[in-house]
A and B are shown apart, each in its own frame.
Chain A
Amino acid sequence: MKNMIRLIGCLMAMLGYLPAASAAGTQPGLIITNPSKSYGVQIGDVLSRKIELDLPAGSTIPKGGLPLKGSKADGIELVDVAISESTNGDGRHYSVRLDYQVFASSAKPVVMLLPQSGIKVAAKDGQETVLAIPQWPFWFSPMVVSSSGKAGINMQAQFRPPAIELGRLHFWLGAFAFLIAVGSLGLLYINADKKWLPFMGGAFADAHRKIKRLKATPGSTKEAFYHMHAAFNHWYGGNCFAQDIDTFVQQNPRFGKSREDIARFFESSNDHLFFGHIKDASEIIRELKLLSKKFRNCERGVA
Chain B
Amino acid sequence: MNTVSNDIELADWRTKALKLEAEIEKVIVGQTRAIRLMTTAIFARGHVLLEGGVGVGKTTLLQSIARGIGGAYERIEGTVDLMPNDIVYHTYLNSEGRPQIDEGPLLRAGENLSVFFFNEINRARPQVHALMLRVMAEKHVQAFKKDYRLPHMVVFADRNQVEKNETFEIPSAARDRFMMEIPINIPASREHRKSLIFDTRFQHAEALTQQVEDHILQFDQLNQFSDTIQRHIQSSPVMEEYALDLWEATQDPAKFGVSLEGVEIGRLVQSGASPRGMGMLMKAARVNAWLNGRDNLLPEDIHAVFHEIIAHRLVFNPMYDSKRTALARELTAQIINTVVVPGKH
Residues of A within 8 A of B (CB): 222-223, 225-226, 229-230, 233, 238-239, 241-243, 270, 273-276
Contact = CB atoms under 8 A, between A and B. Distances in A.
Interface of A is mostly: helix
Contacts, number: 48
B337 interface: yes
B341 A243 contact: no
Given A274-B297, A274-B298, A276-B296, A239 B337 contact: yes
A242 B300 contact: yes
B238 A273 contact: yes
A73 B39 CA distance: 144
Nearest to A273: B238
Contacts of A222: 238, 342
A273 B300 contact: no
The 4 lowest CB-CB distance pairs between A and B, nearest first, are: A238-B337, A273-B238, A275-B296, A274-B236
A275 B236 contact: yes
29 contacts: A222-B238, A222-B342, A223-B344, A225-B342, A226-B342, A226-B344, A229-B340, A229-B341, A229-B342, A233-B340, A239-B299, A239-B336, A239-B338, A241-B299, A241-B303, A242-B300, A243-B300, A273-B238, A273-B239, A273-B341, A273-B342, A274-B238, A274-B298, A274-B299, A275-B295, A275-B296, A276-B234, A276-B236, A276-B296
Contacts of B298: 241-242, 270, 274
Contacts of A223: 344
A238 B340 CA distance: 9
A274 B295 CA distance: 10
B239 A274 contact: yes
Interface residues of B, number: 20
Given A222-B342, A229-B340, A241 B300 contact: yes
B340 A239 contact: yes
Given A226-B344, A273-B238, A275-B236, A238 B338 contact: yes
Nearest to A222: B342
Given A222-B238, A276-B236, A239 B339 contact: yes
A189 to B, nearest CB: 25
Interface string B324-345: 0000000000001111111110
A222 B345 CA distance: 10
B341 A239 contact: yes
Interface string B180-202: 00000000000000000000000
Interface in B280-312: 295-300, 303
Contacts of A239: 299, 336-341
A261 to B, nearest CB: 20
Interface in B97-135: none
Nearest to A228: B342
A273 B344 CA distance: 13
Nearest to B298: A274
Contacts of A241: 298-300, 303
Contacts of B296: 274-276
A51 B298 CA distance: 133
Nearest to A242: B300
Contacts of A230: 340
Nearest to A224: B342
A226 B341 CA distance: 7
A272 to B, nearest CB: 9
Contacts of B300: 241-243
B265 to A, nearest CB: 16
A275 B299 CA distance: 12
Interface in B254-277: none
A233 B337 CA distance: 9
Contacts of A273: 236, 238-239, 341-342
A275 B239 CA distance: 10
Given A222-B342, A273-B236, 9 more contacts: A223-B344, A226-B344, A238-B338, A239-B336, A242-B300, A273-B341, A274-B296, A274-B298, A275-B295
Greatest chain A CB density within 10 A among B298, B303, B342 is at B342
B339 to A, nearest CB: 7
